[in-house]
Structure 1
Amino acid sequence: MKKFLSIISLSLTILGCKTGSKTSDADIATKYQGYELIWNEEFETAGKPNPVFWNYEHGFTRNEELQWYQKDNANIMKGFLTIEGRRERVKNNNYEAGSNNWKKHREFAEYTSSSINTRGKKEFQYGILEVRAKIDTAKGNWPAIWTLGITKPWPSNGEIDIMEYYMVNKEPHILANVAWKGSEEYVKWDSEKIPFQHFLDKYPEWPEKFHIWKMDWTKDYIRLYLDDELLNEIELSKTNNPDGFNPFHQPHYILLNLALGSNGGDPSETAFPQEYIVDYVRVYQKKK
């Protein structure tokens, strides 16, 4: 069953930033009754993301996107992770003249960005994932908060898109999706695509503010929220792969990235750098 509720909270928690009084550790840990905080990344230490938790993707990776992923574009400053999209030329070390492979036929990348993930370092099954972030909505940007299952190749491992922002039919949308292996089609999607205008109509300053994306994940359902507005609800009784394996009944790891081009649209007339800023990532699970 899917629900689309017009419930949006413009609280200080959503609109504020890391200034003034800081939320106490006790308040963070006890935010959800009956749950406990099992892991959080507050990005308080300046420099690079903590290598104990975070890996980097490198080069061209997926979807024929324009950016070259590199470590240099992810940095922590003043309590925030900033993933920066840049217009800059980088040599493609995998270039092969005449290749038909999209990852190899370009001698140079014209854009760079970063993609980080917790694979093999922080993985979880069920609970509440909460991310507070600010996205740039300029044309060409494709920021995301998502997870992938730890076993089987994509899409049999399962994908959960807590947040995506990109162009659908040449109009910007916020998306909340899950994907798994289909029986008739290669990949099966349960997707909600909400026109970005829906959020602007409620709050014209939306792009200038931080927002909270949340996933509530149990063995029975996944619910995806933006600022307490339920965007999509997925019944996990319907998400089995053809072999009977349910990819949402296994641990997943977290990915944060800013893609450029492809579904994000043409960034050629967009002013760079672009910034995707993350305040925190928190994972809660039910108390045992």
Structure 2
Amino acid sequence: MKKIFLLIALVLCGASTYAQQKRKLVWSDEFSYKGQPDPQKWDYEDGFVRNNEPQYYTTKRLENCRVENGTLVIEARKEEFPNARYKSGSTNWAEKEQFAHYTSASLITKGKADWKYGRMEVRAKVATGAGAWPAIWMLGANRGAVKWPDCGEIDIMEYLGRDPSKVYGTVHYADSLGKYQHQGESPIVGAPADGFHIYALEWYPDRFEFYYDNLKYFVFDISKAQQKEGNIFQKNFYLLLNLALGHEGSWAGPFNDNLLPLKYYVDYVRVYQ
């Protein structure tokens, strides 16, 4: 099926064709196998990671992340799971709970693959429902050596279940004064959760172009992120695929337990340069 889809993409006009004609495929995962994601290509985030989100990211656990029927499946579940970072008496949100009540997965290429410039293309079907928060995004490969937002962040796609007709593409960075800035667009595209769609970033030396299928909906001028020591968007970034859950007061909003489990499907990931 994927071979047929690729042949069709090669003969149709549009953004995907541009990638095929102008660049070479340098990295991909077609998920044409079964079981855990390829460990040569993917690693995991683990634990409670960011934004006070209620889901606990597990590692190498098929219930939350697996490849089946030629597709990557990331699944958010309602279940009790031990918190490996639990510290009795801690007030840190990521450490104070002995058990998580929700699990999910976040795949990353950090330490395995990162890129500067090119086309990052993912064909995916998003999870939907109030509080669902699937994403395709990138962080600077120097994340850890420098803090966010100095490392930069490129949100190729975020989808909020509470806003089912839109997708979000956003760039986060620190400006020349070191102040946090962000810029993005959220076009109304119909019903992304109804099927598979192509989410892509075209990364040029001077700009980012964001695509939903063949719709170019946002262009970002990279010079806006210029600092004295350089521009973070002239450095390598790694890729993340995750399914988060919102909560009361969060951007994604609260979720409904009755919707769980939620499943986020990825048909392929391709990088062209």
Please, what TM-score do these two structures have when normalized by structure 1?
0.82
Q: For the Cα contact (< 8 Å) 1:215–1:222, is it kept in 2?
A: yes
Deviations 1:155-197, CA, capped at 9 Å, x for gaps: 1111100000127xx6454210111124567421112234xxx
% identical equivalent positions: 40
Aligned equivalents of 2:241 and 2:36: distance in 1?
14
Q: Does 1:250 align with 2:230?
A: no
Aligned equivalents of 2:163 and 2:5: distance in 1?
37
In the other structure, the counterpart of 1:230 is 216
Q: Secondary structure at the match of 2:251?
A: helix
Q: What residue identity is the alignment partner of 1:224? A: F
Q: For the Cα contact (< 8 Å) 2:135–2:241, is it kept in 1?
A: yes
Moved more, 123-132 or 92-101: 92-101
Task: Quickly say closer, same or farther: Cα 1:211–1:150, change in 2 above 3 A.
Answer: same
RMSD: 2.4
Q: For the Cα contact (< 8 Å) 1:178–1:189, is it kept in 2?
A: yes
Please, what TM-score do these two structures have when normalized by structure 2?
0.86
Q: Secondary structure at the match of 2:189?
A: helix
Aligned equivalents of 1:228 and 1:272: distance in 2?
31
Aligned equivalents of 1:21 and 1:163: distance in 2?
25
In the other structure, the counterpart of 1:164 is 158
In the other structure, the counterpart of 1:239 is 225
Q: Does 1:109 align with 2:100?
A: yes
Aligned equivalents of 1:132 and 1:22: distance in 2?
11
Q: For the Cα contact (< 8 Å) 2:175–2:224, is it kept in 1?
A: no
In the other structure, the counterpart of 2:13 is none
Q: For the Cα contact (< 8 Å) 1:30–1:37, is it kept in 2?
A: no
Task: Quickly say closer, same or farther: Cα 1:129–1:171, change in 2 above 3 A.
Answer: closer
Higher relative CO (Cα under 8 Å, sequence separation at least 6) belongs to 1
In the other structure, the counterpart of 1:32 is 20
Aligned equivalents of 1:171 and 1:81: distance in 2?
24
1:1-288 matches, cutoff 5 A: 18=1, 21=4, 23=6, 27=10, 32-71=20-59, 72=61, 73-151=64-142, 152-166=146-160, 171=163, 173-182=166-175, 186-194=179-187, 198-200=188-190, 206-241=192-227, 243-261=228-246, 262-285=250-273
Q: For the Cα contact (< 8 Å) 1:140–1:270, is it kept in 2?
A: no
